[in-house]
Amino acid sequence: MRIPLLISTLLISLFSLPVLAQQTGLVKGKITTSDSQPAIYVSIGLKGKNQSTTTDDKGSYIINRVKAGNYILRVSAIGIISQEKEIEVKNGETITVNFTLTEDNQALKEVTIAGKKNKYKVSLPSASLRLNEPLLEAPQNIQIVSDQVIKDQQIISMSDGLIRNVSGAARSEHWGDLYTNIKMRGSQIQAMRNGFNFVSSYWGPLTEDMSIVDHVEFVKGPAGFMLGNGDPSGLYNVVTKKPTGINRGEVSVTVGSYDLYRTAVDFDHQLTNDGKLLFRLNAAAQTKGSFRPYESNDRYTFAPSLSYQLTNKTKITAEYALQNAKMTEVGSFYIFSPNGYATLPRDFTFTQPGVEPTRINDHSAFINLQHNFNDKWKATAQVAYSKYLQTGTSSWPSAVFTNNTIIRNVGIWDAESSMKLAQFFINGQLNTGGIVHRILAGFDGGKKNYMADWGQSHDLDLPSAPFNVNNPNYGFPSNGYPNFDRETSLTDRAIAAGGLIDQKYLSAYLQDELGFFENKFRLTLAGRYTYVSQSAWGGNPDKAKKFTPRVGLSYSVDKNTSIYAVYDEAFTPQTGFLRNGNKIDPITGTNYEVGIKKDWFGGKWNTTLAAYRIVKQNELAADPFNQAGESFSIVVGEKRAQGIEFDLRGEITAGLKLIANYAYTDGKVTEVADGVTSNFVGQAVPGFAKHVSNAWLSYTLQDGLLKGTGISAGFTHLAGRAMGTFSGTNEERNLPNYFKLDGGLFWENKNLRITANAFNLLDEYLFTGAYYTGYWNAPNYDLGVYSWQAEAPRNYRLSVAYKF
């Protein structure tokens, strides 16, 4: 009986479909911006009803099976002024309702970035970058690593291969996965998050987990529109995920070599039918081992955010993120030997099992208030708060001997930092005669405090029983384990250890981009005044104030091609101690840059070619004659970094996406300050690789039974590496060339994606490092020491992501 009944029910349902269709109507249409561009991924729905959809990449929408009646059709999205229209739906009829938004395509930048299908190429900067124009028109080399690239390459943290997607970027050996420390154009660049400078000490911030990251913007050279003081080499801006107004979710699971297990959740939803209150939750948890024994890095992340449209013109967004890390003691990645780089197995470790791990709780919160006065003027006020708490240890040898023995040392590293930051800026556009003015004006202010106890240390090994590299013994150490004082308050311990760093700053800036000849020729005139007071190591505050100008030219040869030139200045207050006791002056830097940008085949892919020259004065470097316990600096004099950069990114043809880049960088001493004998004119200044080449190619089948199946491959090549040290006379001290090959397979449909990648396919012994001279004053040892951090052998990752 059940089968005939089921068949009967099915037949009745099938015959009833046309009747049901006649009892409902259909609403469709197209939404465009004021500059006649399709408004993609904009929410549209029936107000007060649970029927809504989003526009596709052509700006079109369809709402099916709408019951007959009168409704209000509402369009909404982040950063736009909502629109409503009254409609009447009749049974069996289709009505077409089109909208033209008062904003242009630039105003939809956040929606475009959040939902764009071709996400290898992003054409618009985030609102936190403050530039009210497409990247093609900006007189600056800006490269964006999109969310899709991060997923395709299975990047799980900022230190996990992300920089392969940007020309000239390289990491120097440091504290493993604790801090990112990216170098570009010859120096370490500033770390920003949502437009705020998030560096609270010389080592921060904690590497962002990719579960909270939407995309990352790399700005080459000084950027007065972003920060008042910073290295002229540039910055990277991590843009975190925020509510988009698109109801969607994703759960992903990743497993990989060396006991990597990771789960991430992304839930994005409208909490109210009118689309005013939006919510997003991002969370992740992972356990991660290492190819080195006794090493681990476990993390979890929790990041909720809310957005509320107060009025049609005003929106407030609040977000919070907790990143928790439990990892092997800081410094466990390091290997030391007097015999040369890579002279020990790449899985060799000096880490002693039983040493307490380092634990970190990194809290951050942001509140952003944006008010659109009209379609041409808006004001943004935002504040940020950060609290960083660390309890742990770091490892660094007390002595390295020529007979391949070492005295391993563990030092305490308890730290706490806080940052209170605020910004206010106005973007606007006006015309005077035939001249278009794009105005940016505002101010930044902040207070940062960092304190750390690194004044306690303990040798794990005795001089009479050092750690023998040739016959390592990881049993109970000969000098036992440390027992550090944590009863005394961190504040008192930090004062005793000289571990205090603080900074206060306030700056104001004004920028006017004047557009001539229907905005084809653009002249940027800008200036920033900055006051900074900072101190370090318990010393007196160093104060500096400076006006830094900015002049830029940009010309649109056609709608897809622009050429630009820019002159910009930056200054960076610095703290240190000179042996002669003289005052430390801030670093001053100037950047001269020209370039050409071009969109190809209707904007599907883009190329940028730039040439630059950066000159820096007064930069400090570690005194090469420092003995154990000393931290004196020297003034180099003048440093010049120059080079050429080329970037290509986007969809070359249907299903074929490519990221490729190349950079030539050369950093040298051009002047030597009086009294400095350890440096000479023409000497290479560490902080770059002379040649950096990267590529990542991905192809997806577009039709047939295997539709959605794809293959990807990429490489990274570095030559002439002068990252930590460089010697023009002793090639053995220089880092060898670096080549890494990765590849993978994937399959995806509307809801499911499976990604598998293999890293270091050639199983090369890859590493970065530095050569230290005069640091260890060990008995019978006068030579330098080679230090390096090895990367993993061939390894694999498999991810399964489900969208709902």
Do 138 and 63 contact (CB within 8 A), yes or no? no
Spell out the residues 6+ positions from residue 95 whose beta carbon is closer than 8 angstroms to its own: 25, 26, 27, 28, 87, 88, 89
Q: The dihedral of CA 671, 673, 679, 684: what is its sign?
A: negative
Joined tokens for residue 742: 């990765």
Determine the Cα–Cα distance for residues 41 and 52; give it in Å rounded to an integer: 12
- State which residues of the chain have pLDDT below 70: 1-22, 57, 77-80, 103-118, 173-174, 204, 622, 624-625, 628-629, 674-676, 678, 726-732, 774-783
Q: How many distinct helices (H) and strands (E) make up the chain?
A: 4, 49
CATH architecture observed for domain 21-103: Sandwich (2.60)
Determine the Cα–Cα distance for residues 284 and 799; give it in Å rounded to an integer: 14
Determine the Cα–Cα distance for residues 145 and 126; give it in Å rounded to an integer: 12
Joined tokens for residue 54: 């989003």
What are the backbone dihedrals phi and psi of residue 625, each rounded to the nearest 5 degrees, phi first?
-95, 10
What pLDDT does 727 receive? 63
What pLDDT does 776 receive? 56
- Cβ count within 10 A of residue 106: 23
Query: Which DSSP string do the residues of 226-260 spell out, in sequence order?
Result: T-SS--TTEEEEEEEP---S--EEEEEEEEETTTE
What one-character DSSP code corresponds to residue 163?
G
What pLDDT does 357 receive? 92
Of 396, 291, 294, 393, residue with least CA distance to 787? 396
Determine the Cα–Cα distance for residues 578 and 569; give it in Å rounded to an integer: 26
What pLDDT does 617 receive? 85
The whole model's pTM is what? 0.86
Is 288-301+339-361+387-803 CATH 2.40.170.20?
A: yes
What pLDDT does 679 receive? 73
Joined tokens for residue 273: 């039918």
What pLDDT does 106 receive? 46
Determine the Cα–Cα distance for residues 781 and 628; give it in Å rounded to an integer: 13
Q: Specify burial of residue 361 (Cβ count, 10 A radius: 0-12, 13-18, 19+).
A: middle
Determine the Cα–Cα distance for residues 755 and 364; give it in Å rounded to an integer: 31
Of 778, 767, 770, residue with least CA distance to 406? 778
What are the backbone dihedrals phi and psi of residue 155, each rounded to the nearest 5 degrees, phi first?
-80, 130
Determine the Cα–Cα distance for residues 592 and 571; give it in Å rounded to an integer: 15
Determine the Cα–Cα distance for residues 282 and 299; give it in Å rounded to an integer: 14
Do 19 and 86 contact (CB within 8 A), yes or no? no
Do 384 and 341 contact (CB within 8 A), yes or no? no
Do 169 and 218 contact (CB within 8 A), yes or no? yes
- Cβ count within 10 A of residue 60: 14
Do 235 and 213 contact (CB within 8 A), yes or no? no
What pLDDT does 728 receive? 57
Place of tokens 């400076």: 546
- Cβ count within 10 A of residue 20: 10
Domain boundaries, the chain: 21-103, 109-240, 288-301+339-361+387-803
Determine the Cα–Cα distance for residues 640 and 684; give it in Å rounded to an integer: 10
Of 463, 381, 364, residue with least CA distance to 417? 364
Q: Nearest 10 degrees: CA dihedral of 363, 193, 315, 85?
A: -120
- The CATH class of the 109-240 domain is mainly beta
Place of tokens 């609270």: 200
Of 720, 732, 734, 794, residue with least CA distance to 769? 734
Angle (CA) 227-233-238 rounded to 5° is 55
What pLDDT does 539 receive? 73
What pLDDT does 609 receive? 98
Determine the Cα–Cα distance for residues 710 and 458; give it in Å rounded to an integer: 53
